[in-house]
Amino acid sequence: MREFKEMVASFHDAGLQVILDVVYNQTAEGNEHGPTLSFKGIDNASYYRLTPDQLRYYINDTGTGNTLNLSHMRVIQMVTDSLRYWVTETHVDGFRFDLGTILAREPNGFDNQSGFLKACCQDPILNTVKLIAEPWDCGPGGYQVGGFPPGWAEWNDKFRDTVRDFWCGQVSASALAPRLSASGDCFNHRGRKAWACINFVAAHDGFTLNDLVTYNEKHNEANGEDNNDGSSNNRSWNCGVEGPTEDEAIQALRERQIKNVLATLLLSQGTPMLLAGDELGRTQRGNNNAYCLDSEISWLDWNIEKRGRSLIQFVQQLIRLRHNYLILRRSRFLTGDYNEELGVKDVTWVNASGSEMRVEEWDDSNMHCFGMLMDGRAQPTGISRRGEDATLLMVLNAHNDLVKFTLPETVGGREWSLLIDTNLAEISETSNFVSGDSYSATGRSVLLFALHPDAFS
C-alpha cells in the first residue's frame, strides 16, 4: 500500500489524476457450487441476490455466478466505506465501476434513484471525486447508457460502435453527428453535462486500435479455446489484407484510419478515453480477449519504433488542440439550436458544398463526407452571454475517394487555418484559406480548420 500511495503522489506531482477501476458487483465465491470464502458464511442472504422462490440459487446478472446485493444497508455501507478509504488514505481522484448497473439495482431492477447512488451523491467525500459507470450488466434491463443521475459519468459504447461503423463505411452522417456532440440524445437531460459522456473506441476488452484496422476476424488461438472465446462482432476492417502486410498502400491506409479514429475521439465533445498503447500502435495480433495471457500478446512493448513515435506525436498534437481550443471541450451540450437573443447557432452541420445540411442529406445513407462547424461565439455556460472561443470546422470524409470540400461562409471571419489533415505528416504554417475555397479532402481522412476572427468581431 505504501508503494501505491507513492505512485498516486507521483502522478499528482506530474499533474495527473488517478482513477481506480473497482469491482463491487460480484465476488470470487461464485454460485451455489462455488467455495465459501467470506460473505457466504457470514450472511449469504444479505450479501447476495438470491432467486426469491429458491433461495439456494444465486441471481447471476454479472455473468460470474453471483451478484452482490447493493439493496442491503450493510452492503452499501461496506462498499462506501471501501470507497472512502481509497479516497482519504490513498488520495485517488475517482472510480470507474465495473458493471456499474449492478450497483443501482433494486429488487425490481435498475433504479437511478437507488440507495447506493443516493449514498454516493450525498456523501461529503464521495461527491467530490469522479464517479464513472460502466452502464451495463448481463441481467434483464441491464443496458443503461445515459440512465445514471447527474454527477455521474458513463462509458458510451454508442460512440465506440458508431465511430467504428462510420470509418468502415457502414453508417452515414446522421448516425455519427450525435456522437460527435457528446451524445446529447442519451445524456442531455436532468441538468447533466457533456463531460458525463465518456467517449472511447477501444478498451481493455476487444481489439486494440491497431488491430481494428488490421483484422476482420478475431485470432484468439493462444487462449486455448479453439478461437471460440471473445466477441465476433468487432466492427473492424482490415483494409484489404488480414494481418500484417508489406503492401505500402494498405499500410498508408491503415495509418490514416488510425489517425482518423484518434482525431474523431479527441476532437469530439464529451470526455475522451484512450486505451493505453493505442497512441503508439500497440497490437495484440488480432486477439480480442487477451485478459488470460501473460505474454508478448498482452504486454505493452516500450521499445517504440519510428511508426509508434509518429503516432505519439500526432496524439500529442490532438491533445494540445483540445487543451488550447475550449470549444472542443464545452460542458454545455452543442444542440444546433439557434439562440435568437445572441444570434448564434452553436453547431452547424455542413455538406461538401459548404452549405448547411438539408433534410434529404441527413436521410441519405451515402452521406459519408460532412463538416461540423462549432461557433465559438455560442453561449458557453448557463449565463446568457456570447462566448469568446475560437470557431472550428471539423471535416470527416469516410468515402473511398477524394472530395472537394468548400469552406463555409460564417459570421466573424473569412480566413481559415488548417490545423489537422490526417493524410499529411506535417501541416505548413502557410496553410491558410478563405471561405469559398475548395480543399481536397483525401478519401478516408479528417480535417480541422480554425477561423481567424475579423478585427472588429
Residues designated as active site: 98, 134
Q: Which of 380, 375, 379 is nearest to 390 (CA)?
A: 375
H helix or E strand, kind and range, residue 211: helix 209-212
- Spatial separation of the C-alpha atoms in residues 412 and 169, rounded to whole Å: 34
- Spatial separation of the C-alpha atoms in residues 284 and 288, rounded to whole Å: 7
Task: Using DSSP, state whether 208 is helix, strand or coil.
Answer: coil
70, exposed or middle or buried, with CB in 10 Å at 0-12, 13-18, 19+?
Answer: buried
Work out the angle between the directed axes of helices 248-267 and 306-324 (0-180°, nearest 10).
Answer: 20
314's CB contacts (< 8 A; 6+ apart) are: 259, 262
Q: How many helices (H) and strands (E) does the chain have?
A: 11, 20
294's CB contacts (< 8 A; 6+ apart) are: none
- Spatial separation of the C-alpha atoms in residues 383 and 136, rounded to whole Å: 35
Amino acid identity, residue 255? Answer: E
Work out the angle between the directed axes of helices 73-90 and 115-122 (0-180°, nearest 10).
Answer: 30
* Percentage helix, strand, coil for the chain under 3-state DSSP, each rounded to 5: 30, 20, 50
Grid cell of 13 as nine digits? 506531482
Tell me whether strands 50-51 and 347-350 are parallel, antiparallel or unpaired: unpaired
